[in-house]
Structure 1
Amino acid sequence: MIIYIFKKIVTFLFIICVLTQICFCLVYFAPHSMLNFNNLSFVDAYSAFFKQLLQGQFRLLSGETVPFFHTLLATFELCILALVVALVIGLPLGIFLGLSNINWLNSTIRLGSLFLYSCPIVMLVVIVMHWLSPTWTISMNFDVSPSVTGTSLLDILVASKTFKLQALLDQLHHLLLPIIILAIQPSIMTIQLVSQSVKSTSRQNYIKMAIIRERSPFKILRRHLLPNSIPATIPQLTYNTTTLLFSTMVIEILFNRVGLGQWVMIAYHHHNYSIIAIAILACGTVISLLTLLGEISSVAIYPLRHKVNYV
């Protein structure tokens, strides 16, 4: 298992390295680049690019600095929170659908899931905000200026202020609406994948033998069914990180939240294609990191699962 995880980490680092090289070439050879590399040689520009990348910020010709890590972590925070909500909602419903024999209830949940999944996220945000505006205090600016960690929740936890709990609850209240909207599609995918995996595993012979030997249905579910069905769905769920990242950027634009979405919109408005190239690197980093975490989590939960890749 350690060798398998090590190979995945090496693959992740190789992908990030390739993305970084492509990003540097786009920045260096792009016409009218706004980064401060125009008057440098190729080797000096290469060194300056990676130095600024490791520092987490890029300096423009105007002297303005662009926070790379803070922007990336702000988007990553929203993605992680949406994935947590999707797992909390999707896992129980998926297990229920996989084991339930109530046809009308299963059909109702599947129909509602397909309806929500087919709705464009922009239209869904507009409808929800119009519906909740009379009763929900919606603030379009959900930003708590990141200064230490780049994420609003961690900044509140590490801040030397009193009433951290109240500030944390206020920030979660502001984040609740975008997180719920962002978690709809991952929740639906989780429900579908988990229900199919649970239903397929429950038909296996070793599960039927466990039903004969065990008296407690809960023990069968905990010892035999879930350990053999849930780990198989984790890598498949991480494959949808591209859609999740795109939805996160749309949510950041609509709710005026600091992140990759606002970063790309401002760069496109000012025709700053160098910053867009760096945003491509940030998107690739988020997608690759979420995929790596999903694969490592799958192997950590069920170590023998990695043998499927070599069959």
Structure 2
Amino acid sequence: MLLYLLRRFALLLSTLLMLTLVAYALEFQLQGAPQANFIDGYGQFISQLAAGDFGVSSVSGLPILGALGQYFPATLELCLAAFIISLLVGVPAGTWAALHLNRWQDATILTGTLIGYSVPVFWLGILLVTFFSLNLGWLPVSGQLSLLYDTQQVTGIMTIDTLLTDSPYRWPAFFDALSHLVLPALVLAIVPTTEVIRQIRSALLDVLKQNYIRAALTKGLSENYVILRHGLRNAFPMAIPTLGLQFGTVLTSAIMTEVVFDWPGLGRWLITSIALQDYAAIKGGTLAIATFTIVASATIEVLSTLIYPARRRAIYASQG
């Protein structure tokens, strides 16, 4: 197991180094570099990144690292909310589809996943804003919190910061932040939900074919108990590594979602930086998003291996 962890860490480190190499090569070609030697310039680039120096914005004149710390928590809040929604909807839907294989329920759910995967994020966002915000007036149009509530930023995650304040309007502010989160999180959750449904359905179908499932059913145990206690419990860890890759999908989709809902996150800041040709901000934002995606995917894969015995046995067999 230690050898596996070392290999994962080496792969993670090499991937991050390759990412920084591509980022520096683009900067070298676009802007030119004061160093005549590419290798020396890349070494200095790595040293600056290791020291937390991502450069200075040519628009605001402020350090890029400070901007990343300001905007990234809002993006993280939106992505986590979308991922939670995708699990809450996708796991039951995928289970229901697997239990009704080749029936109308299965066909309906799979058709829904195909439609959900094909719908453009920006179009769906505009559609939901028009219906729920402008026509019905149920939910806010944009932003992270109403101007009525003055909440100090502590973590940058507004649903948490509103609860940390000692204001007498703490709970109204929390529900206001939650209402602002609903529409963008729902839009962002569409694509990962379709993948969760597909992965849970596929994994559960494989598990239900196993002999221990048949043995549990022959003992007279109820079908619901067997599915929840043995089927889904063993199917979910099988799908975790693939689901971890959805962090990348969520982060890239968050860029357009933040623009549609005027969400003050990293994606909207990055789009604005591209429009203003702020190369330092573009480089810093791209590196931050890519690094978070790679680290999150690798971490989820390692955790799934640690908690899933079958994966550990496969690793031991390959190493033996």
Name stretches of at least 5 consecutive residues in structure 1 with no aligned partner: none
Stretches (4+) displaced over 6 A: none
Displacement of 1:306 in angstroms is 3.6
Q: TM-score, normalised by structure 1?
A: 0.83
Say whether residues 1:166 and 2:163 are aligned partners.
no
The equivalences for 1:210-249 within 5 A come to 210-249=216-255
Aligned residue pairs, count: 303
Say whether residues 1:59 and 2:56 are aligned partners.
yes
Displacement of 1:3 in angstroms is 5.8
Amino acid at match of 1:60: S
Is the contact made by 2:74 and 2:265 (CA closer than 8 Å) also made in structure 1? yes
Identity %: 27
Is the contact made by 2:68 and 2:266 (CA closer than 8 Å) also made in structure 1? no
Mapped partners of 2:301, 2:83: distance in 1: 15
Which residue does the alignment assign to 1:123?
A: 123
Mapped partners of 1:45, 1:221: distance in 2: 53
Q: TM-score, normalised by structure 2?
A: 0.81
Mapped partners of 2:174, 2:85: distance in 1: 17
Displacement of 1:293 in angstroms is 3.6
Of 139-148 and 85-94, more deviation after overlay is shown by: 139-148
The equivalences for 1:1-311 within 5 A come to 4-5=4-5, 7-9=7-9, 11-20=11-20, 22-24=22-24, 26-27=26-27, 30-31=30-31, 47-53=47-53, 58-60=55-57, 63-66=61-64, 67-100=67-100, 103-132=103-132, 133-135=134-136, 136-142=138-144, 147-308=153-314, 311=318
Aligned residues: CA RMSD: 3.0
SS at match of 1:59: coil
Mapped partners of 1:45, 1:109: distance in 2: 49
Mapped partners of 2:135, 2:256: distance in 1: 24
Displacement of 1:303 in angstroms is 3.5
Displacement of 1:110 in angstroms is 1.8
Is the contact made by 2:204 and 2:232 (CA closer than 8 Å) also made in structure 1? yes
CA 52–30 in structure 1, closer or farther in 2 if over 3 Å, else same: farther
Displacement of 1:202 in angstroms is 0.7
Mapped partners of 1:17, 1:70: distance in 2: 25
SS at match of 1:148: coil
Is the contact made by 1:94 and 1:192 (CA closer than 8 Å) also made in structure 2? yes
CA 44–221 in structure 1, closer or farther in 2 if over 3 Å, else same: closer
Mapped partners of 1:166, 1:197: distance in 2: 42
